[in-house]
Structure 1
Amino acid sequence: MAWNMTWKNTTHLWLAEDILIQKIGTVLYTYILPVIVGSGFIGNSLSIWVFFRKSLRKLSSSVYVLAVLVSDTGFLVSLLFVWLEVLGYYLNHAQGVCQVLVYLTYVCSFLSVWYMVCVTVENFITICHPTHVQIMCTRARATTVVIVLALAALIMYSLSVMITKVRQSPGSPRALCEKNLEYQTLTSIFTYVDSIITLLIPLSGIAIMLTAMVLSTANSFRWRTESSPNRELMGRRLSAANPQVRVAKMLFALSVSFLVMNSPIHVVRLYYLLRSNSPTIADLSYGEGLMHLVLLFVSYSNCSIKVFLFLIFSRNFRKTLRNLCKGLIGCVFKCNKYKLNERTFV
């Protein structure tokens, strides 16, 4: 994850095979990356604002969604410094800034993945075990889980500060933020462990739970269609009465989009990790490098599209946002009217 931050200094290793990847990389990092970062900041901030409203924050699932949005925004901060590097501002290679950004990248990546696991678990209980919703899906339990995961990430990834170092590479005009060669063995162990806990376990768990939810939904639909109209009406009333059930579609969309947009790059990384003891971009062929670059940006985009998923799949989100916008517009008109009256009086 941390090696995403040194693109400008490693891409030249691909250029020997084909200049095309340089052009694609330049377009992606110069023009597409700021769009992802900018839209992500705006969309995530707007979503956080909406989910903090009383009508949505009372749900336990909203606690996990807010946690995902915050961790995604933290990851976008690290991407912002990558873009600044492309523009010629090498702030992420400064001593101190280098270690903080690598630490932030690791922590936010871990939290984004595991908070999405929590979202999926919450939805899994809602769909597959609806009788346990009131016991398992509580706001207090969700808050505790979010805090415990955050503390675990902050402690666990403090090691990344030690294995990251700013050093002058041979042939490079400036110092670079790189892995500390003094801890090469420790870095390899750290990379393998990180890959297991942020890749293999969570993505497999999300995929299994999503499959179970699809099968459960299909069985439930078949049961309703084959049963009497009274049972179907009763099922609809139960769904309408439970607010946790009403957000199930939105949570399912979040989990599916996360899995679809992040699994390819993680699978590719796992393949590179197993293929080489010290996987670097320099080890990739032209085709592999191009595929890695495209999949990487697909993964980045997942940090920015959640607001669109909320707008599409959550009626409560749309309603709350519409009310907030109406209130904001009304406040602006009142302020302008007040100022106009003051000037008229003077």
Structure 2
Amino acid sequence: MTLTPESVTMELEMDIEKIGYVNGNVSQDMVLVNLTSTNRRPTQTFRRMPAMDPVLATLYQFQFYGYPVILTIGTLGNVLAYLIFTRTRLKKVSSVQYLAALAVTDTGFLWTSFLTPLYGYYKVPIITQDGLCQFMTFLNYVFTFLSIWYLVALVVERFIGVYWPMHKSTMCTPFRAKLVMSFMAVVAVACYSYVVYFFGPDKIYGILQCMPWKELRIHFENLSKIDTFVIAIIPYGVIVILTALIVIRGCEYYRISASVELFSHRNQNGRTGSQTSLHVTKIVFPVVILTVMSNLPVMILRTAMTIHGVKNPQIAKWNQVFYVVYIINFAVKFIVYITFSGSFRRRTMEVLKRGYDQFKRACRKGVAHSETDAHRINMEPMPSEKTQCGRLKKTDI
């Protein structure tokens, strides 16, 4: 599954056949072609065509076996990260609210994105059901928007904490973070409500797919161009600029504090606040770097396709390769937290130990109830023969 082109699918009907001749081999095999367009939603199309080149063939095998693994690992990691961010003392930090929200949006993106390969690879036609097609596509758009803009809000908060530490206690609070996240969620739902009317089950190459209606395809292309600007250009530009400024301020702080010892003693309180801010930033930087490095190639392709269109089959191949890295980003943030944050590791061990203790207590309680019931049954007196006879006579009467 890739970022694919519902908007230019018809233009590629003839061009896409060239993919099979990249390696000069000709055979009538059933292959999966992921077209690429200005839209994030995938349209996977099955056709009889010459064999793919080795890169696409290997990628197809990886996607077939790798998508369920990515989905499983990502779901378990994101659920555990959400529990740690919301059930431990970390929830008192405003930045953690955004990380908890990211765990939710990443999980939602993984599941809504998996429905297309679930149909294309495993023949489970959930995404092609009328109603589910529109709703799941709408959710995919919403989760994609929120996953990047929640990260933008997190970087903005870190920027405020580093450049204006005196205002951090009033501007960066868990309550304000929840307000920002709620506002973004409302904006996403309102802005992407059009997807419900533009998408539906339709046939392409004789195969039923969840894609934009043909009658609305021109309007959908125009909306996709706006969506590209909102998803692929603005947020990454803001993230790169603010992250660079944070790094510059951090380098200045360490240079000044190392060279002027008197400055460090006189500003102990301010230094402590900055250290706390930088300590929280340690978990933010790896997430930002991972997201930018994994998402930027796909977003660059998407921007180029929005401007110039897609007619080269090689773009579809490279988009396939980059998309694998792109979707893995939504599944491995838990590993990043574990690797770079000692506090997160400690809280993870606490949550796992607490869950294990609760499980043991539940098992012991269940065993105790079973033994009590068995003991109670064994201790009940058997009715005597005289009583039994009395009951029989009374019944006969």
Q: TM-score, normalised by structure 2?
A: 0.78
Consecutive unaligned residues of structure 1, counting only runs of 5 or more, are none
CA distance in 1, matches of 2:313, 2:265: 56
1:11-50 to 2 correspondence within 5 Å? 12=47, 16=50, 18-50=52-84
What residue number does 2:135 align with? 100
Which digits, 9 at most, give the CA deviation of each residue in 1:63-117, with x for residues without a partner? 1111111111111111221231111112212211111121111111011110010
Say which SS state the counterpart of residue 45 (structure 2) adopts.
Answer: helix
**2:273 aligned with 1:273, yes or no?**
no
- Residues 84 and 90 in structure 1, CA contact (< 8 A), matched pair in contact too: yes
CA distance in 2, matches of 1:299, 1:236: 41
CA distance in 2, matches of 1:79, 1:239: 43
* Equivalent position to 1:285, from 313, 316, 323: 313
What residue number does 1:177 align with? 210
* Equivalent position to 2:249, from 191, 216, 221: 216
Residue-pair matches, total: 336
Say which SS state the counterpart of residue 158 (structure 1) adopts.
Answer: coil
CA distance in 2, matches of 1:284, 1:46: 42
What residue number does 1:158 align with? 193
Q: CA deviation at 1:195?
A: 0.4
Which digits, 9 at most, give the CA deviation of each residue in 1:310-330, with x for residues without a partner? 112222221111111222222
What residue number does 1:145 align with? 180
What residue number does 1:64 align with? 98
CA distance in 2, matches of 1:179, 1:241: 50
Q: CA deviation at 1:343?
A: 5.2
Q: CA deviation at 1:245?
A: 4.3
* Equivalent position to 1:249, from 275, 282, 299: 282
C-alpha change, 1:235 and 1:33, in structure 2 (3 Å) is farther
CA distance in 2, matches of 1:44, 1:132: 31
C-alpha change, 1:263 and 1:333, in structure 2 (3 Å) is same
C-alpha change, 1:20 and 1:8, in structure 2 (3 Å) is farther
For 2:245, give the aligned amino acid. A
C-alpha change, 1:117 and 1:75, in structure 2 (3 Å) is same
Q: CA deviation at 1:233?
A: 9.5
CA distance in 2, matches of 1:236, 1:291: 51
Which digits, 9 at most, give the CA deviation of each residue in 1:123-178, with x for residues without a partner? 11222332221122111211111011000100100111112122233x41x32212
Q: CA deviation at 1:205?
A: 0.4
CA distance in 1, matches of 2:155, 2:232: 15
Consecutive unaligned residues of structure 2, counting only runs of 5 or more, are 6-39, 376-397
| Between 70-79 and 309-318, the greater mean CA deviation after superposition | 309-318
Q: What RMSD, in angstroms, separates the aligned Cα atoms of the two structures?
A: 2.4
What residue number does 2:219 align with? 186
CA distance in 1, matches of 2:327, 2:266: 42
| Greater per-residue helix proportion | 1
- Residues 56 and 62 in structure 1, CA contact (< 8 A), matched pair in contact too: yes
* Equivalent position to 1:133, from 161, 168, 172: 168
**2:334 aligned with 1:310, yes or no?**
no
After the TM superposition, which parts of structure 1 deviate over 4 Å for at least 4 consecutive aligned residues? 1-7, 232-238, 240-245, 339-345
Q: CA deviation at 1:28?
A: 2.8
CA distance in 1, matches of 2:251, 2:109: 36
Q: CA deviation at 1:335?
A: 3.2
Which digits, 9 at most, give the CA deviation of each residue in 1:253-304, with x for residues without a partner? 211211111111101111121112xx4xxx3333x32221111111101111
Say which SS state the counterpart of residue 165 (structure 1) adopts.
Answer: strand
- Residues 257 and 263 in structure 2, CA contact (< 8 A), matched pair in contact too: no
For 1:313, give the aligned amino acid. F
CA distance in 2, matches of 1:244, 1:221: 13
C-alpha change, 1:333 and 1:220, in structure 2 (3 Å) is same
**2:108 aligned with 1:80, yes or no?**
no
C-alpha change, 1:335 and 1:183, in structure 2 (3 Å) is closer
Report the structure number with the largest CA radius of gyration. 2
1:222-233 to 2 correspondence within 5 Å? 222-228=255-261, 231=264
CA distance in 1, matches of 2:138, 2:369: 52
What residue number does 1:89 align with? 124
What residue number does 2:346 align with? 319
Say which SS state the counterpart of residue 124 (structure 2) adopts.
Answer: coil
C-alpha change, 1:316 and 1:233, in structure 2 (3 Å) is farther
For 1:26, give the aligned amino acid. Y
Q: CA deviation at 1:209?
A: 0.7
Q: Percent identity?
A: 23
- Residues 37 and 79 in structure 1, CA contact (< 8 A), matched pair in contact too: no
What residue number does 1:300 align with? 327
